[in-house]
Structure 1
Amino acid sequence: MSLTLAEARARAAMLSAVSYDLALDITDPHHFRSRVVARFDTTGGDTFLELHRAESLDVEINGEKVTTAYDGRRIPLDELKPGTHEVVVDARLRYVTDGEGLHTFTDPADGERYIGGYLGLDITQRLFACFDQLDLKAPISLTVTADPAWTVLSNGVPTSDDNGRHTFATTRPIPCDLLVVAAGPFHSVRWEHGGVPMGWHARRSLAAELDRDAAELKAVTEACFNHFARVFTEPFPFDSYDQVFVPELNWGAMECPGCVTFNEFLLPRGRVTDDDRRRRAMVIAHEMSHMWFGDLVSPLWWEDAWLNESFADYMGFEVAETLTGFAGTRVSFEAVHKPGAYLADRRRSTHPVAPEAVDVPDVAIATTIFDQISYGKGNAVLRQLVTWLGEEDFLAGVNAHLTAHRFANATLEDLLSALDAASSRDVRGWAEVWLRRSGHDTIRVTRRDDVPVVTREGVRPHRFTVCAYDQGLNLIGTRMIDLAGEPVPLPEWAGLVVVPNAHGETFARVDLDPFSREALANGLATLPDPLVRAGVWTTLLDGPPPAVQLELLARQLPREPSPTLVTAALGRVRDHLIRRRLTADAVPAALETIASACAGPVEPDEQRAVALARGLAWTTADSDQLRRWLDSGATDHGLTLDPELRWTVVHRLAELGGLDEAGIEAERLRDGTADGVLGSLTALAARPTAEAKASAWAAMTGDPEISVRRFRALADGLWSPAQRGLLTPYIAGYVSAAPALAERGSAFAAVVGRAFPALALTDQELDLVRDALRHNVPAVLRRHWDDELDDRA
């Protein structure tokens, strides 16, 4: 029973002045106690609190115990009289292992236990009884009783710690889904900046990694804080700023006010590449910008989720690129994130960046719009807005919007009003074609005699850079152009290779003229600017037959100087060609082509060497080579195997039949961490035997408490494109079992959807999915399946 738009609007109309006083007791390892005092004013009538699957429940309304018709999701509050009310809900609930609620995790490295309240859409009710919607923002007072040896973190500043009873200052009004609790024996690095107490925290077994990166993490945090202090007129909205690497978070990070949670993949064990650092700096900037976009000012309903995510994604990449010392972040956006957004915008499931509220009728549907449209496309569209509007007017409008709605809720119309007031341009007309319509335009280059002509297929105004090159791909010139309905000829560049949207300022597919396409396909790696190459890689890999993609990779990958672009090209071919389009008999030759492209001479650039070694590790069929790597702890060229690379080698060697169960177990014991447990599950599932596949499938479907990460690890090993004969029986089994598995919650539904068979399917097998979709399939899983069908059409 997901909250509907109509229910949320009715409840918001009758309630105001909501506040929560919450006490959690997490000392019992099996259950936790959640006692909340919810206070609110009402105009009178019937409403409800949400609370998910409480095992025991006591309710008081205005000091009187009541018996309610609790159905496992909602606590009715009927016939309330106008005025102020106080409801006390004292409940016992279970911990979860799927990251949706109060999550429990035991670290295999040292046996220490960690508890995390990871909330979000439809999840707060799994922690305490609440009015679980965005536009009933409320101050929250929190007390947590925990192991006295533990650190406990939350949104507010700690005010006392009495032998494990932690009390926190009452928050400013925030959406209740942004409450956070993180508890356990964390290792911490603390300091103060700009008058705000700050900290980075990680579980004890990652103390060495946190200390290794602490100076960098601190510097990036301060650079982001200083930048936002300059560009936003509203000061930092909260009293403290903790950042916590938490175990088994289902997403990259969560923007909880004053206490941001980060997925632990952002704190790698072993080698930290430049791409790792860029990505982490981007996420830090992204989450800090949420303190304003999403936390200070929040949407009314989920149709405006883009006001949170598109803004934060744009800010994250721009700030990381220009201010944190990690140039090249924008290259990763163009190469990795934008292609996925183009693909998403061509599917049936696409939607406007800013849909209408009626198009998001309930929270279940809302969970499906946190996608590549709201992130990747929204980011690109905002970059185009800034390019088109000018940064000064953009920031003037944004600041007026933030001040007008501080600690409240706002809509797209509110933002457009502020931008309109700051600019003479037709912002509403721009928003109508860019934000309210789905799909993307195509920028096409044709030739009129020898003169390049740039045209637009679509309805949107574009401003972007065009670059011109000679046949040797030496840069001749650049020009910013505005493109609308009329063609733009470039007579000064007659006979030259031209690349439109070369710096990625707009969001549109590029269709090159044959002359430019051929020159770029032959000499792509020699283009001097990696940002231009990122866009060209995207264009050249967009839609050609498999043989053409593999030929491009074979020619250009060995010469591509950017590790970011090497990794992006390999990932795209793996995910969209090897795992979706190639038949099983075509996979070995394709993998051999990729392996040959990765197996060049000794690389003086370690970053590039890592990218190529990772590509070689998942493609090579040379078991002897992989065994040498494991035995020596390094590649044949002397590159040390960090944990990520080593587990890639283990996975591939097991997939080839070169590593048995005992060998995989030895690797797990050698690693000794949670990542090692997951790596061993993937390797065990990858073995080319019927027994291995049966065991993996039984583990995925037979344990009702299996965690999201264990399920994902098993699926990653199960589906091997070259093991088609072993996997055919599990395709129908997956389609049959998935809807029931997905009922556990949105995060588990997403991992079940991502576990779609990663191999080319026959029309009859795809018909199984189509037939299943005619019945009741949870919204998140339905979205994943629809997208898979579109991608394989």
Structure 2
Amino acid sequence: MPGTNLTREEAATRAALLDVASYAVELDLTTGEQTFGSTTTIRFTCREPGAATFADLVGATVHEIVLNGETVDPAAYADSRIALTGLAADNELVVRADCTYSRTGEGLHRFVDPADDRVYLYSQFEVPDARRVYTTFEQPDLKATFTFTVTAPAHWKVVSNAPTPAPEPVEGTESAVWRFPETERMSTYITALVAGEYHEVLDTYEGAHGTIPLGHYCRQSIKEQLDVDELVELTKQGFAFFEDAFDFPYPFGKYDQLYVPEYNMGAMENAGCVTFRDEYLPRSRQVHAFYEQRANTVLHEMAHMWFGDLVTMKWWDDLWLNESFAEWASHHAMVSATKYTEAWTGFTNARKNWAYRQDQLPSTHPIAADNHDLAAVEVNFDGITYAKGASTLKQLVAWVGIDEFLAGLREYFRAHQFANSEFGDLLAALERSSGRELDSWAREWLQTSGVNTLSAAFEVDEAGAFRSFAVQQSAAEAFPTIRRHRIGIGLYDLVEGRVVRRSVVETDVAGERTEVPELVGERQPDLVLLNDGDLTYAKIRLDERSLATAVEHVDAVEDSLARALLWGAAWDMTRDAEMSTKDFVALVLRGIGTETDLTAVSRLPLYARTAVNLYSDPAGRTELKATWERGLRGLLESADPGSDHQLAFARAYASAAHTDEGLDLVAALLDGSATVEGLTVDTDLRWTLLTALATHGRADEARIGEELSRDNTISGQERAAMARTVRPTAEAKAQAWRDAIERDDVPNETQRQIAYAFPTAGQEELLEPYLEKYLQMAETVWEERGTQRASTVLEYMFPMPLVSPATVERVQTWLEHSRANPAAKRYVREGLDDMQRALAAQERDRA
């Protein structure tokens, strides 16, 4: 039985049969707290009268199905599909049903704010979840227009893809009806509905193509956190940039941005009705890197209005292009049109490392993945789809030129507006604009897996100049593709205590060895940096002299992007067991205090924490943990008062503190008996400090409850759940397991926080019984809990602290014999690979 799955072949068959003209969707949000009324009228044509097909509807109680005026037997609705037979040339399908509100962030999510008991709803439909709210033909290439009619409490705000109409009161009730105008043609997955007691701020953008009404929305209890001036400025900068760069007016009339609770992802590009996780409206102080990432998300979703919404992929094989393009375009816009001019450095320090890790897992896949069905799509929202794809597009821009790239995009948007396309359509437009043959480039970059490694090979003469210079390229044995790369080669000298770039040469690398004659005769620098400018996607390795310079003088490298490449190379070498954990931690402590990129300042402690807890030699781990704690305390105490560095180091120190001395300071900062000049211990930092104490048994349930009474918000409840989970008791672990795995009434974001906190480093004895529990759970969790909950617990609750040869052997045996869902096995296999890396790194650290 197909259940909620849909294959590419089924979708192609249905698309060949049908053209969908319109949907009329009537939703009644006043029928109760568990369900809502949903009546859908679909008008469509059939190319083969008399044929059969099916419509999609998930988890509904169907009251009536009418096809072309004839009532259909309710038995036609089974297994999440409505069987439709005897189709006419022109058809009208009407389905009247009750659908269920979600607590998992899929479909129409319902949230009651504990701060004031106000109700908030929002939809999340990508990949296939519009069918949880109304009857659909759930595939991206059956575009249609949509007319939404919504009945809701009269005092609510109701927002959808089309401009919001004035509500019409329903006589004798406290309800009203919103009759939205018809939308442009779009796919089901980018339709949207947001409703509830939202706070609203309206504005307009006046651009070269006219006026765009703007709306910003959030919960009433956090309206003081809506920094609307900053967000409106960023929105207007984005529109000015994209309308000019794409030479195409914004296509959806108005633009609302809604910050919603318990959201599963960063944001979603619903046409004209973009939803964001409301953690992007911080209640406590955040470092610059937070706002840079938020800006990236805002502009990422805006780029989708053209690439994804205006022109939409035919099928999910081109999911990568949808996300990769938005990821590339957002960073390009940030650098070109906003104050975040160093955004590509942040990308290298964070997003690209995500891609490198994902691409070296056994679950790696080509950028253009073979998404043969919806089940495959749902596990491919990963670092390859987003960050590797964006890196590859950055390489393509370097390959063809930015002006030629944008010219191809403009042609593509004009040719395929409000329709569907495939990657070949874009490639053809880029070939015409650039004059370059790109089919072979696409094959080697998009249809293969794995990451190449670049290293310098050279000889130096008696005078210290290069006699020869070449770039060597290698690939993993399992993924042997050798690609073409456009790269920069930077020569850096140590001058009066600073590492400065003397010159850079751009060249095309092809094959296993590429000679670079331009460098012959150049004096050997202190540092040779391959991929200077970060034009391509490849791991880099440093020659002996360059590595020594990086290790001793990383804090003296003037260029932030060059430092990001060095940080990335060092972390990658540590993960590959080519650099010892002790050396990596020492490198971080040496360079992070003066690092100017705040993304690096936030991320490097996370990498180092993983290295300390998992990659270090167990025999020397106690000493290294003490070194890491002392080093962070020194950084905290020496940071400029009130600086972003100070806040980042306070957070990192809390997670590293484990000695009595360290935990005493954490406790004193929390209760106010100790202070650090310039450091404000606000709500979020209080939870960070308290969770650190709970991890080491110095905060019990009563203390956590006391803190929760100070912060009885949904964020407070989520942070309290995390603090309870990390307590070093068998009872705490058992309760966390029940809450994350067994209960159905735990909200999705709370479950995520519990799952993330569960495998706490240093609690191996408590976690020992959960290896078998985890493997037993993995057998059936995908079917029993669905995509969202299952993927969360499988990824986060893998028992990484139990790293050992015995654990590796047990998990390998399970993978060999288990009949679990392939998606579930993918997450287990990824956890196993991380564990095997940890073992290799421990061996290297032992040397």
For the criterion TM > 0.5, the same-fold answer is yes
Partner of 1:782: 825
**Counterpart check, 1:572 vs 2:600:** no
Partner of 1:158: 164
The one-letter amino acid paired with 1:595 is: E
Residue among 440, 443, 449 paired with 1:429: 440
Partner of 2:471: 455
Shift of 1:635: 4.6
Shift of 1:326: 1.5
Q: Is the 8 A contact 1:469 1:498 kept in 2?
A: yes
Compared CA separation, residues 122 and 785, structure 1 to 2 (3 A): same
Partner of 2:844: none
Residue among 687, 706, 711 paired with 1:671: 711
Q: In structure 1, what is the Cα distance between the partners aligned to 2:515 and 2:412?
A: 36
Q: In structure 1, what is the Cα distance between the partners aligned to 2:521 and 2:829?
A: 46
Q: In structure 2, what is the Cα distance between the partners aligned to 1:111 and 1:266?
A: 21
Give CA-to-partner distance per residue, 1:543-564, whole Å, 9 cap, x none.
Answer: 3232332232233334434432
Compared CA separation, residues 727 and 487, structure 1 to 2 (3 A): same
Partner of 2:646: 609
Compared CA separation, residues 242 and 351, structure 1 to 2 (3 A): same
Q: In structure 2, what is the Cα distance between the partners aligned to 1:777 and 1:57?
A: 35
Shift of 1:383: 0.7
Shift of 1:583: 7.2
Residue among 63, 84, 97 paired with 1:77: 84
Compared CA separation, residues 146 and 586, structure 1 to 2 (3 A): farther
**Counterpart check, 1:408 vs 2:422:** no
Within 5 A, what are the aligned runs for 1:196-345? 196-210=212-226, 213-345=227-359
Give CA-to-partner distance per residue, 1:263-318, whole Å, 9 cap, x none.
Answer: 11211112132112111111111100000110001111111112210100001112
Partner of 1:16: 19
Partner of 1:394: 405
Residue among 174, 193, 203 paired with 2:205: 193
Residue among 440, 459, 482 paired with 2:508: 482
Partner of 1:727: 767
The one-letter amino acid paired with 1:534 is: A
Q: 1:759 is paired with a residue of what secondary structure?
A: helix
Within 5 A, what are the aligned runs for 1:341-356? 341-355=355-369
**Counterpart check, 1:34 vs 2:38:** yes
Compared CA separation, residues 580 and 125, structure 1 to 2 (3 A): farther
Q: In structure 2, what is the Cα distance between the partners aligned to 1:460 and 1:721?
A: 39
Q: Is the 8 A contact 2:247 2:410 kept in 1?
A: yes
Partner of 1:750: 791
Shift of 1:768: 4.0
The one-letter amino acid paired with 1:570 is: P
Residue among 578, 591, 613 paired with 2:625: 591
Partner of 2:66: 60
Q: In structure 2, what is the Cα distance between the partners aligned to 1:782 and 1:454?
A: 42
Partner of 1:181: 193
Residue among 486, 497, 511 paired with 2:541: 511
Compared CA separation, residues 760 and 514, structure 1 to 2 (3 A): farther
Partner of 2:105: 99
Q: 1:160 is paired with a residue of what secondary structure?
A: coil
Shift of 1:634: 7.6
Give CA-to-partner distance per residue, 1:343-367, whole Å, 9 cap, x none.
Answer: 2222222122123xxx221110011
Q: In structure 2, what is the Cα distance between the partners aligned to 1:514 and 1:304?
A: 42
Shift of 1:501: 1.2
Unaligned 5+ segments in structure 1 are: none
Residue among 556, 570, 573 paired with 1:526: 556
Q: In structure 2, what is the Cα distance between the partners aligned to 1:618 and 1:604?
A: 21
Compared CA separation, residues 590 and 679, structure 1 to 2 (3 A): farther
Q: In structure 2, what is the Cα distance between the partners aligned to 1:466 and 1:658?
A: 52
Q: In structure 1, what is the Cα distance between the partners aligned to 2:780 and 2:506?
A: 53
Compared CA separation, residues 750 and 112, structure 1 to 2 (3 A): same
Q: 1:599 is paired with a residue of what secondary structure?
A: helix
**What stretches of structure 1 move > 4 A for 4+ residues in a row?**
582-588
Partner of 2:431: 420
Q: Is the 8 A contact 1:746 1:780 kept in 2?
A: no
Unaligned 5+ segments in structure 2 are: 170-175, 475-481, 837-847
Residue among 772, 786, 805 paired with 1:763: 805
The one-letter amino acid paired with 2:710 is: R
Q: CA RMSD in A?
A: 1.9
Q: In structure 2, what is the Cα distance between the partners aligned to 1:47 and 1:585?
A: 64
The one-letter amino acid paired with 1:560 is: E
Q: In structure 1, what is the Cα distance between the partners aligned to 2:325 and 2:775?
A: 37
**Counterpart check, 1:495 vs 2:536:** no
The one-letter amino acid paired with 2:19 is: S
Q: Is the 8 A contact 2:6 2:374 kept in 1?
A: yes
Q: Is the 8 A contact 1:152 1:181 kept in 2?
A: yes
Partner of 1:547: 582
Shift of 1:216: 0.7
Q: In structure 2, what is the Cα distance between the partners aligned to 1:177 and 1:777?
A: 29
Within 5 A, what are the aligned runs for 1:632-671? 632=672, 635-671=675-711
Under a length normalisation based on structure 2, what TM-score does the superposition of the two structures give? 0.90
The one-letter amino acid paired with 1:482 is: D
Compared CA separation, residues 633 and 739, structure 1 to 2 (3 A): farther
Q: 2:86 is paired with a residue of what secondary structure?
A: strand
Shift of 1:739: 4.0
Q: In structure 2, what is the Cα distance between the partners aligned to 1:512 and 1:519?
A: 10
Q: Which moved more, 1:336-345 or 1:442-451?
A: 442-451
Q: 1:777 is paired with a residue of what secondary structure?
A: coil
Compared CA separation, residues 584 and 248, structure 1 to 2 (3 A): farther
Q: In structure 2, what is the Cα distance between the partners aligned to 1:758 and 1:170?
A: 51
Shift of 1:584: 6.8
Compared CA separation, residues 634 and 88, structure 1 to 2 (3 A): farther
Q: In structure 1, what is the Cα distance between the partners aligned to 2:61 and 2:619?
A: 53
The one-letter amino acid paired with 1:483 is: V
Compared CA separation, residues 203 and 583, structure 1 to 2 (3 A): farther
Partner of 2:184: 172
Give CA-to-partner distance per residue, 1:62-107, whole Å, 9 cap, x none.
Answer: 12222133224111002323x1111111111221110011111111
The one-letter amino acid paired with 1:608 is: H
Shift of 1:745: 2.3
Partner of 2:477: none
Q: Is the 8 A contact 2:58 2:132 kept in 1?
A: yes
Q: Which moved more, 1:34-43 or 1:337-346?
A: 337-346
Q: Which moved more, 1:258-267 or 1:769-778?
A: 769-778
Q: Is the 8 A contact 1:466 1:502 kept in 2?
A: yes
Compared CA separation, residues 189 and 780, structure 1 to 2 (3 A): farther
Within 5 A, what are the aligned runs for 1:676-691? 676-691=716-731
Q: Which moved more, 1:170-179 or 1:317-326?
A: 317-326
Q: 1:41 is paired with a residue of what secondary structure?
A: strand
Under a length normalisation based on structure 1, what TM-score does the superposition of the two structures give? 0.96
Q: 2:824 is paired with a residue of what secondary structure?
A: helix
